[in-house]
Amino acid sequence: MPFVPDTDTRRVALVTGAARGIGRAVATALARDGFAVVVNCSGEKSLPAAQEFADELAETYGVPAAACAADVSDADAVDTLFAFVADTYGRLDVLVNNAGITRDGSLLRMSEDDFDRVIAVNLKSAFLTSRRAAKIMMKQRWGRIINMASIVGVVGNAGQANYAASKAGIIGLTKTIAREFGARHITANAIAPGFIATDMTAELPEKMLAGMNDRIALKRMGKPEEVAELAAFLASDRAAYITGQVIGIDGGMSL
């Protein structure tokens, strides 16, 4: 049964890195579906825009929405974020680990710093947030953890050793969470997008973009909203029996 919003038991969703791109589309879809939403952005500089977006969600969908700046690779910042969620809503039902970065380069040229930073933002962040979220969800005996992986985490990608390793790590983390918390009605799933039109892919060198559509069965890039629909489904009661899965959404790119 689809989730029916009710002011007494309205479910709360936290989306990391939600100020733009896929995270923004996910936050929008969840607000549309009746969730109260916490829009996380990476720092104080992006907070006014994230706040404006949260206000927009509240006005458009009539749900509570709030914004909180926190670098999710930082344990203290994650503590602050979860204190904000507890103070603002007093519960958490859905966690979407979406924040992510790239620092591409061939393995031979990749610096240790570029490796560490990508692992910290893309993978360690999900460990930090999931252990906080799982504690709350266990008490509520219901929860959804949705992690943004990538098809690159499954098949690898030349020039993205750090990014591919972080996304493969996310998949292992997701499956483990699914096993550890299944008995508490908490599901954990990974979404593995292919090539989605966002600022992240707009930064790619021309060389990498050329001929990309030819490698995709549907012959086009995906839209953030298309990924968001999958996240919204996984967050809903309709996906109650799906856990520990890596669900590709790539227009057939990985075929």
- Using rule CB under 6 A, residue 67 touches ligand NAD: no
Q: How far is the CB of 234 from ligand NAD (least distance, A)?
A: 14
Q: Of residues 82-121, which lie at the interface with ligand NAD (CB under 6 A)?
A: 98-101, 121
Q: Is 115 helix (H, G, I), strand (E, B) or coil?
A: helix
Least CB distance to ligand NAD at residue 215 (A) = 13
Please report whether residue 21 would count as binding ligand NAD according to CB under 6 A: yes
189 is a contact residue toward ligand NAD (CB under 6 A): no
Enumerate helices (H) and strands (E) in the chain, giving the number of each. Answer: 10, 7
Active-site positions read 163
Write the DSSP assignment of 181-193 as a string of letters: HGGGTEEEEEEEE
C-alpha distances in angstroms, 151 versus 4, 12, 14, 104, 157?
A: 32, 28, 23, 16, 9
CA dihedral 123, 124, 125, 126 (to 10 degrees): 60
Reduced 3-state DSSP string for 10-31: CCEEEECCCCCHHHHHHHHHHH
Assess 187 for contact with ligand NAD (CB under 6 A).
no
Scanning 3-11, 69-77, 107-115, 208-216 for contacts with ligand NAD by CB under 6 A, the matching segment is 69-77
Closest CB to ligand NAD among 160 and 236?
A: 160
CB of 109 to ligand NAD, least distance (A): 21
- Closest by CA to 70, choosing from 36, 103, 30, 97, is 97
- Report the nearest approach of ligand NAD to the CB of residue 187 (Å): 19
Q: Is 113 exposed, middle or buried (0-12, 13-18, 19+ CB in 10 A)?
A: exposed
Does 19 sit near ligand NAD (CB under 6 A)? yes
Size of the site for ligand NAD (CB under 6 A): 27
Residues making contact with ligand NAD (CB under 6 A)? 16-17, 19-23, 40-42, 71-73, 98-101, 121, 148, 150, 193, 195-196, 198-201
